[in-house]
Copies of this chain bind each other. A is one copy, B any other.
Amino acid sequence: MNFISDNAYGASPQILASLTAANSGTETSYGEDAVTARVAEKLAAIFAHEVAVFPVVTGTAANALALAALCPPYGAVFCHKDSHIAVDECAAPEFFTGGAKLAQLDGDDAKLTPRIIEQVHARFGGGVHSPKPSVVSITQATELGTIYKLDEIRAIADVAHKHGMTLHMDGARFANALVSLGCTPAEMTWKAGVDALSFGATKNGALCAEAVVFFDRTRAEEFAYRRKKAGHLVSKMRFISAQLEAYLENDLWLANARRANALAKVLGDGLSAIPGVTLATPVEANGVFVWLPKTLAARLHKQGAKFYDWVAEPERIMARLIVSFATPEADVAKFIEAAKG
């Protein structure tokens, strides 16, 4: 019963297999290979838009590099106070940008709103004493398993653009959000005003593959320098791109995400039916955030269930239960049973 993280599971067999397929013969190194080119084409088709695509190996690299491309050293990135870039990346964005400020904003369900962005932007109006508001970054799905609706993204993009800021989306769980909304990749990104995307694959079945995606290709040349300078230009890039190719092939990414979301729904429904247990946020992707009495949480841990006590209160804890593409269905059922006691 491992619900600790999407990262606890390995890789989809198709993705592993693609590495072997990519291993034959010689290839041009440093991303000039045929696999990488095919992935870029594939993503352009999926997004129905020109894109500049840069595979990297971690979500932190994707986010920090994307933000560094969008935010000058003297700029500020507006993000939710609980966002991954704010609290889980050892201040990588501050390092990659050369010292930009992450303004950590409030917001229910780990989501930003146009209103809070406007308020904080007004506070940064004192000229050079405050960093220049440069980027808004949202996470889709959020760190509390919730989803921005398309009109919510659009509204945030509008206020960002009005103030000369760009909109970045941390899509570490992009596929989970996409199948949850049932929209197209284009609708959830550039059509809603997203300028740059951290397109995640690792949590949803890859070994170590993410991609930074820009919808304006003029950013491409400069970004390539940043990736290299950060040590994130893998020499045998074909092996990173091959993961992405298999991930996108035959909609594996969507199938994996649907499976995880569906099981999360089952888990959330099962748990919330138990007296004394309530959902902390609606289950909209593959994360279940649920209030458990402290005694119950302790008992579950004792029984070997792995999950984070995300928030601790005197009488209860908010458990974070992440369901991955590979979590056994039986484990979900078993966990619900265990919780029922």
A residues engaging B (CB < 8 A)? 2, 5, 7-11, 13, 16, 19-20, 22-30, 56-65, 68, 72-74, 76, 87-92, 94-101, 104, 126-132, 202-203, 207-208, 222, 224-236, 238-240
* Cα-based distance from A224 to B131 in the complex (angstroms): 11
Interfacial chain B residues near A20, Cβ < 8 Å: 16
On whether the beta carbons of B95 and A91 are closer than 8 Å, the reply is: no
Interfacial chain B residues near A22, Cβ < 8 Å: 10
* Additional pairs, 4, CB under 8 Å, beyond known A7-B29, A230-B230: A68-B73, A73-B226, A89-B129, A89-B228
CB distance from A252 to the nearest CB of B (A): 15
On whether the beta carbons of A16 and B23 are closer than 8 Å, the reply is: yes
A-B contact pairs, 29 of them (CB 8 A): A8-B28, A11-B19, A16-B19, A16-B23, A19-B207, A30-B128, A58-B232, A58-B233, A58-B235, A60-B228, A60-B231, A68-B73, A73-B229, A74-B91, A87-B130, A88-B130, A89-B129, A89-B228, A89-B229, A89-B231, A90-B128, A90-B129, A90-B131, A91-B101, A92-B230, A99-B99, A128-B225, A131-B229, A208-B236
Known: A10-B25, A231-B60. A94 touches B94 (CB 8 A): yes
* Cα-based distance from A295 to B73 in the complex (angstroms): 40
On whether the beta carbons of B231 and A58 are closer than 8 Å, the reply is: yes
On whether the beta carbons of A131 and B91 are closer than 8 Å, the reply is: yes
Interfacial chain B residues near A126, Cβ < 8 Å: 88
* Cα-based distance from A30 to B89 in the complex (angstroms): 12
| In the complex, the 5 A-B pairs of residues with the closest C-beta atoms, listed nearest first | A61-B231, A95-B99, A74-B225, A7-B29, A98-B98
Interfacial chain B residues near A99, Cβ < 8 Å: 91-92, 94-99, 229
Interfacial chain B residues near A62, Cβ < 8 Å: 231
On whether the beta carbons of B129 and A228 are closer than 8 Å, the reply is: yes
Interfacial chain B residues near A26, Cβ < 8 Å: 2, 8-10
On whether the beta carbons of B29 and A61 are closer than 8 Å, the reply is: no
Minimal Cβ-Cβ distance residue in B for A123: B87
* Cα-based distance from A233 to B5 in the complex (angstroms): 15
On whether the beta carbons of B230 and A231 are closer than 8 Å, the reply is: yes
Interfacial chain B residues near A24, Cβ < 8 Å: 10
On whether the beta carbons of A231 and B8 are closer than 8 Å, the reply is: no
On whether the beta carbons of A74 and B7 are closer than 8 Å, the reply is: no
Minimal Cβ-Cβ distance residue in B for A62: B231
CB distance from A304 to the nearest CB of B (A): 12
Across the interface, A10 reaches (CB within 8 A) one of B5, B27, B28, namely B27
* Cα-based distance from A281 to B158 in the complex (angstroms): 39
CB distance from A30 to the nearest CB of B (A): 7
* Cα-based distance from A127 to B229 in the complex (angstroms): 12
Interfacial chain B residues near A228, Cβ < 8 Å: 60, 74, 89-90, 92, 128-129
Interfacial chain B residues near A231, Cβ < 8 Å: 56, 58, 60-65, 89, 92, 96, 230, 232
Interfacial chain B residues near A207, Cβ < 8 Å: 19, 236, 239
On whether the beta carbons of A10 and B23 are closer than 8 Å, the reply is: yes
* Cα-based distance from A13 to B23 in the complex (angstroms): 9
Across the interface, A225 reaches (CB within 8 A) one of B25, B131, B239, namely B131
